[in-house]
Amino acid sequence: MKSKYINIILFFACLIGIGLVNIFIGDKLVSEYENRTLEQFPGFSAQALFSGEYFRKVDLYFSDQFLFRDSFVQISSAVKELKGFPGSDGATIIVQGEFNDAEEHGFMPEPGEPFEEMPVEPYDRNEDEITPEPSGDPGLTPAPETRDSGETEITPVPSAGPEPDPGQEPGTEPGADSTEKTEPTPAPAEKPDPTPAPASEKNDNGKRIGKILIWNNSAMQLFKAYTDAEVYYADTLNKFREKAGEQVKVYSLLAPTSIEFVDNEKYRSLSDSQKEAITRVNERFDGVIPVDAYSRLEEHKDEYIYFRTDHHWTALGAYYAYTAFADACGFEAVPLDRYETETIEDYVGSMYDMTSSSVLKKNPDTITVYKPFVKNEYNVWYEGPVKLKVIDMYHATQKNKYRVFISGDRPLGVIKTEIQNGKKILVIKDSYGNAMVPFLLPHYEEIYVVDPRQYGKNIFKLIEDNGIQEVLFLNYALIVGDKNFANLIIKVMEQ
Amino acid sequence: MVFSSLIFLYVFLPLNLVLYFLCRNLNYRNIILVFFSLAFYAWGEPVWITLLIFSAAIDYVHGLIIEKNRGTWKAKAALISSLVLNLSLLGFFKYSDFLTQNVNILFGTNIPPSNFNLPIGISFYTFQTISYVIDVYRNETRAQTSFLKFMLFVSLFHQLVAGPIVRYSDIAREIEDRTVTVSGMYSGINRFVAGLGKKVLLANTAGEIAEPLLNGELGQLSVVGAWLGIILYAFQIYFDFSGYSDMAIGMGKMIGFHYKENFNYPYVSKTVTEFWRRWHISLGTFFRDYVYIPLGGNRRHHIRNLVIVWFLTGLWHGASWNFVIWGLFYGFIIILEKTLLSKVLKKIPAFVSHIYLLLIVNVAWVFFYFTDINKAIGYIGVMFGMGANGFCSVQDSMTLLNNGVFLIIAAIGCTPVIPALNNLLRTKTDNWKHRELVLDICRPAINVVLILLCTAFLVGRTYNPFLYFRF
């Protein structure tokens, strides 16, 4: 009888102990592990109380700030990996249904979301290039915080010299003063890199189901063709070309993803053909020039052209796509051996974040970067210009190492090169574009890079103001699986 | 609030229990329980808590009137008035939109829906108060004179939002006087943790796997995939619902309440009649005692009575035709079993009748899952090969393989195998010297591991649907 007390005491010790510690530990702003903002204790309002929103947020807050949260998350995914029989080849399909928090945490902004609400500061809370501050004066409010003081012109003046406009806060080199940095205000914390949502199919309930195949130490998003969205994308680009006028050449490069070239017919059949989808889109183009990156990548499918733990292509894959683009434009591609390279080891990318698969964690990727040999100046524009590097090795030491390519997704980036040929190109891209843009440097005097997920200005004004002659839509093929991306393009056309 | 949330587990419940045990006075204990119950309810329904209190007040007053005027027409009038009020509230909040929808379709009218959110647990607490008033009228129990104690019966958070439907007469004595015992605490804790494990580890996982199969494109689904989807749903709904009942029963035991069992391994039944004696027992007995038998039971209009009961059973689960079909489908099978099949079912071997039962139950769950009846029929078609994407697609075979271990564990969890093993262990070790001590050390260890594992699962997911909010 007495020994029954053990059960009772342990039960209470467990609940009360963990409960008390949870109440007294401090709150965190960000989960590094999950790469997202953590819920903070909600502010009180009568309206939130009556709608039930207040208590819902307290619930979220409590679980987000839970003691040893990361370890508990890891334990649960480790235990969940035991739920199947170890298959002969270890292939698994992981479903990212409505229970993935991609949408909630801003992987894909809703079409039409106003720019003002887009997270600007949060992108690099721990990195310093966005909050430019003279290193000797850490007390100054950084530029992005002053956005309510009036709209600053985002479109750079074409004639702007290498020196930043004196009226703007000068940008600092990433990481240059990171040690002495104090956070000016607790910014709303880091948002994840807006990675495209996984291949999704909208079912009758409007829920998105994305599937990821893990096989052979490699995670691949499955593609679900949706012809309505293909037509919609092609028509959007057609309309774009029409509005941009005859003097602007419009190219479209849709990059197939890794599942397309998986070396197993059975698993290949799990995903709809991207080749057919790309062909359908290209056939519908009217005046838009398609770039056939597909065949070029297919020729090299046995090389390391896709990451295994990340949904992106490697710089090598991007290079082959670039050669296809060179062919379409009629200029000669720079041979790869012209570039000096550098490698970054131990990259565990987005697919691990989405699946928590231990296989991926155990088999990290290597990133090879090809260093530009063309002198250039790269400015990213938020309220004002922030000077960055086209290959930004600062990110090699961070979690999201794919950001070494043009320093990640930005609303607008402007690269001015020493090439004085007067050629100006605008690249409208998702994150696939990041790895390919550096290869364009030898061919253009000015390269404008727009991410429609973040850009909030009229795109035609940008083209007009800067005398851009070429536009390249550079995205991965999965964006024609739904209408979201096309809607974003429409948004920047209509701003 | 839901039981399977971290804040319930680590703040609400320990706080409630500690305060409860700190008070020795029963009256204070009751106040604590009512206060916590209202807070529990307000967490999810800050507005409709007024409805809960209003509903309780109505029945409290009616109970007193009936008691005072026992045997006169006034008592009868009070009973009728109470039933009308209770059913109107339920009808208004739960069924008005369903009704206007159907009226609009039938008569081409255009009555706008009220767009009320269904107040959580209204189906459960309304049935509890109805049973109270009827029991008082039938003189099966005395009316409760203290509103606090009556509120305790209606609002006790253990069973407020997901059952079991507790009859007042079952706990009337314990409302007045109950004791906390060590063995009650001990077994209550075990029961609670087992229920938590069923909900968090089994039901939630089954739901995650089932979701893409049930919600995916029907044309992509193979026969195996369709069966897998609905079987996983059957697991999910059983572990979810019975897990909640276990947690309620466990928490009751901890503080001296004894609720009746609500589930008794329904999936091991051999007939549908047996299934419904083992599934959601408190609902079945409610309809038996307050609808079926008053209508005449099996003596007068037997078939009619069954049809009415099963129509209502279906409708109780949700304001949508698919639930009605689900209920009537069961009614139809039960009528068949009572008439044509009764002899056949006695003769056939046990395993055949098990298969028969599981077949019926799984087909029925399709109607329970899909509110869209056409989709339900399409899905059943795929289960039997019509419009299926082959017998077993690559993807479905992978899903099967990727979750094989889980499926076996879940299947075992649906049978009384674990309690049987437990008993076997106890009898085999009967003459061990330190048996009790060893067992009493193992059990807490298992509980702590389960709690931590559930915590990990709860932390590790954003997906935590609570299915019974629809009721």
B189 to A22: CB separation less than 8 angstroms, yes or no:
no
pLDDT in the model for residue B108: 81
Q: Is residue A484 a contact partner of residue A262, using CB atoms and an 8 Å limit?
A: no
Q: Which pairing describes strands A218-221 and A249-255: parallel, antiparallel, or unpaired?
A: unpaired
Residue A370 confidence (pLDDT) above 90: yes
* Range of lowest pLDDT (A87-101, A461-475, B337-351, B389-403): A87-101
The pLDDT, as a whole number, for residue A168 is 36
Q: Which residue of B has its CA nearest to A63?
A: B459
Q: Does the pLDDT value for residue A128 go beyond 60?
A: no
Task: Give the residue carrying structure tokens 């074409």.
Answer: A158
pLDDT of residue A271: 92
Per-residue b or e along B45-66, where b marks 16 or more CB atoms closer than 10 Å to that residue's CB: bbebbeebbebbebbbbbbbbb
pLDDT band at A34 (very low <50, low <70, confident <90, very high): low
What mean pLDDT comes out for the span A204-224?
Answer: 76
Chain A, 87 to 116: residues with Cβ < 8 Å from chain B are 87, 91-93, 95, 97-101, 104
CA distances from B465 to A17, A422, B190, B324, B362 (A): 27, 58, 24, 23, 21
Pairs of CB atoms within 8 A across A/B: 175
- Judged by CB atoms closer than 8 Å, whether chains meet at B208 and A97 is answered as yes
- Nearest by CB to residue B205, choosing from A83, A91, A104, is A83
Q: Helices in B318-434 by DSSP H: which ranges?
A: 321-338, 341-347, 350-369, 373-383, 394-402, 404-413, 417-428
Considering only CA atoms, give the Rg of chain A. 24
Chain B residue nearest residue A15, CA to CA: B10
B459–chain A nearest CA distance, Å: 6
What are the chain A neighbours of B43 within 8 Å (beta carbons)? 55
Q: Which residue has the higher pLDDT, A94 or A389?
A: A389
Query: Inter-chain contact B404–A204, Cβ cutoff 8 Å?
Result: no
Write out residues 21-40 of A within 8 Å (CB-CB) of B. 22-23
The residue ranking higher by pLDDT, A87 or A267, is A267
Of A128 and B291, more confident: B291
* CA gap B49, A138 in Å, rounded: 52
Cα separation, B154 vs B133, whole angstroms: 12
Cα dihedral across residues A303, A305, A309, A311: positive or negative: negative
Region A356-373: what's the mean pLDDT? Answer: 92
A16 to B14: CB separation less than 8 angstroms, yes or no:
yes
B381 touches chain A (CB under 8 A): no
Q: What one-character-per-residue DSSP string does A137-165 give?
A: -TTSPPGGGGGGG-PPP-SPPTT--SSPP
Average pLDDT, integer, range A401-425: 93
Which letter, b or e, does each residue of A37-60 get, where b requires 16 or more Cβ atoms within 10 Å of its Cβ?
bbbbebeeeeebeeebebbebbbb
Is the backbone peptide bond immediately before A290 cis, with ω within 30 degrees of 0? no
Residues in contact with A476: Cβ distance below 8 Å, sequence separation at least 6, in sequence order: A196, A254, A255, A256, A257, A311, A313, A430, A432
| A269 lies within 8 A of chain B by CB | yes
**What is the set of active-site residues of B?**
317
A residues 148-207 closer than 8 Å to B (CB): 201, 203-205, 207
Q: pLDDT exceeding 90 applies to what percent of chain A? A: 47
Q: Find how far residue B347's CA is from the centre of its chain.
A: 33
Judging contacts by C-beta atoms under 8 Å, the chain B residues touching residue A37 are: none
- How near does any CA of chain B get to the CA of A39, in Å? 13
Which of A79-83, A117-121, B315-319 reaches the highest mean pLDDT?
Answer: B315-319
For residue A194, the model assigns a pLDDT of 35
Which structure tokens are listed for A276? 């057919």
Element (H, E) at B134: helix B122-137
**pLDDT, mean over chain A:** 77
Q: Which pLDDT belongs to residue A209?
A: 56
Contact B44 A104 (CB under 8 A): no
Q: Please give the pLDDT value at position A281.
A: 96
- Name the residue facing A95 among B212, B443, B447 (closest C-beta): B212
Chain A neighbors of B182, CB-CB under 8 A? 1, 4-5, 8
Q: Which residue of B has its CA nearest to A91?
A: B398
Residues of A in contact with B189 (CB under 8 A): 7-8, 11
In this complex, the residue of B6, B193, B208 whose CB is nearest that of residue A99 is: B208
Q: What is the mean pLDDT of residues A317-326?
A: 96
Of A7, A87, A93, the CB nearest to B189: A7
State whether A3 and B440 contact (CB < 8 Å). Answer: yes
Q: Range with the lowest mean pLDDT among A132-141, A283-292, B192-201? A: A132-141
Q: What is chain B's pLDDT, residue by residue, as a tens digit (471 residues)?
A: 889 889 999 999 999 999 999 988 899 999 999 999 999 998 877 888 889 999 999 999 999 999 888 888 998 899 999 999 999 988 888 888 888 888 888 888 887 877 777 788 888 999 999 999 999 999 888 889 899 999 999 999 998 888 799 999 888 899 988 888 988 999 999 999 999 999 999 999 999 899 889 988 888 899 999 999 999 999 999 999 999 999 999 999 999 999 999 999 999 999 999 999 999 999 999 999 999 988 888 888 888 999 999 999 999 998 889 999 999 999 999 999 988 888 888 888 989 999 999 999 999 999 999 999 999 999 999 999 888 888 988 888 888 988 999 999 999 999 999 889 988 888 887 777 777 777 778 888 999 999 999 999 998 875 333 322 233
Residue partners of A22: CB distance under 8 A and separation at least 6: A62, A65, A66, A67, B10, B11
User: How do strand A470-476 and strand A249-255 relate by DSSP bridges?
Assistant: parallel
> pLDDT band for position A120 (50/70/90)?
very low
In this complex, do A85 and B448 lie within 8 Å of one another by their Cβ atoms?
no
A67 touches chain B (CB under 8 A): no
